[in-house]
Each structure stands twice: as C-alpha cells, then as structure tokens.
Amino acid sequence: MAEPVKSDKIKVIACGAIAREIVDICDQRGLDHIDLTCLPAIWHIRPEKIAPGLREKIAEARSDGFERIYIGYAECGTRGEVDKICDEEGIARLPGPHCYAFYTGVEKFMHTSGDDITSFYLTDLIARQFEAFIIEPMKLDKHPELIGMFFGNYQKLVYLAQTVDEELQAKAKWAADYLGLQYEYRFTGYGDLEPELTKANG
C-alpha cells in the first residue's frame, strides 16, 4: 500500500525545460516540501500537448493525496488553456506569458520586450540542446533553405542565461551564427522563478 502524502507537501507540475533550475533552487533554498513532476521538455514547441498533460498530472496528484498543487508553467502558448485549468482547479501558476519573461523578470520583460520584437531567445536548456529543440524538429539540417523562412524576420539571438557557463555561451554563439543572427548575451539567473517557488512553498 502506497505511503500517504504528508499534508505539508506541495506537488509542483512543471515543464521539463525548467526542471534543472527548479531542482537547483530547491537544493539551494532547502525547499524540501516540493515534490516535482515534469512534463516533457520538448512540449516547449508543442504547446497543444501541455493542457491535456497538466490535467492528467493534476488528477494523479489529487489521487495520490496532494492537496497543494502548483503549476510550473507560464502561459506558454496554450491560448489560455493553462489559466483555464488553474481557474477550474483553484491553483496558481508561474507568472507571465513564457519562461523568457519570468527568467528576465516579468515586470522588466513587459517594459522592454518591445525593443526585442525581432529577437529569438535561448535559455540554458535550449542552448544546451539546440539541435534537439530547434534544428531537428524544424528539419533545418536536412533543409537549410528553411532557416531563412523561419528566421528571416529575426535580427538577433538573445541568450538569456540562468548560469554562468562559458561552454553554453559558446554554443549559443554558434546557434546565432547557424541562424545568421547577431548575438547578445544577457545573464538573468533564475529571475522570478526562485521567489515564486519559495512563495508557493509557503
């Protein structure tokens, strides 16, 4: 028989694209009450899968006895579906439209995003797995002519870095060169993710 969930535990159902960052924050802050479940990171580019996946994991969490649940997704291109689920279930989510916003800090991002209208963003994860997240799904390796079709309206690639990692910086610069874009590096750290997780745990 499964051990019942302790009442002080909180289930965080998150995007796999931010799993490493959540684990780091929990370790650094001693957030031992967070029980993390992640949906596939590749759904970052398949947002139509997110809402059904969340509903399934929320149902599983309720069945396992979790009373406190937090959604580790922003809006993430779901056309309001994440907010609909949160309203129906009475649970909260990460702020902002996407991870680029909460890493930057949502308030700051909203004030400056107009200057980046022709920017393509990378995070640590996407820089680390650029081939798996961008090149292969878009078949850019097999059809390089698609680069101009997909990225022709962008002017620069902005790497929003969660960690200081020279290897990832080199990969992000390579990605910018691959796409034919100017390169800009911005260190964000964990942005709003850290205080939001801490608040959710409280």
Q: What pTM value is reported for the model?
A: 0.89
**Which whole-number Å values give the CA distances from 101 to 59, 126, 141, in the listed order?**
28, 15, 29
Mean pLDDT of 90-109: 92
Dist CA 16 CA 180 (whole Å):
28
Instruction: Identify the pLDDT of residue 4.
Output: 54
Q: Which domain holds residue 37?
A: 10-98+192-201
For residues 65 and 145, membership in a common domain is answered with no
Contact of 34 with 201, CB cutoff 8 Å: yes
Which run of H or of E encompasses 171? helix 166-179
For residues 141 and 116, membership in a common domain is answered with yes
Neighbours of 94 (CB within 10 A): 26
Number of domains composing the chain: 2
For residues 16 and 89, membership in a common domain is answered with yes
Share of the chain above pLDDT 90, in %: 84
Beta pairing partners, 121: 158
Contact of 70 with 200, CB cutoff 8 Å: yes
Instruction: Identify the pLDDT of residue 202.
Output: 55
CATH code for the domain of 69 = 3.40.50
DSSP letter assigned to residue 96: S
Instruction: Identify the pLDDT of residue 154.
Output: 97
For residues 128 and 168, membership in a common domain is answered with yes
Contact of 186 with 116, CB cutoff 8 Å: no
CA angle 186-83-43, nearest 5°?
60
Mean pLDDT of 71-90: 95
Instruction: Identify the pLDDT of residue 1.
Output: 44
Instruction: Identify the pLDDT of residue 179.
Output: 98
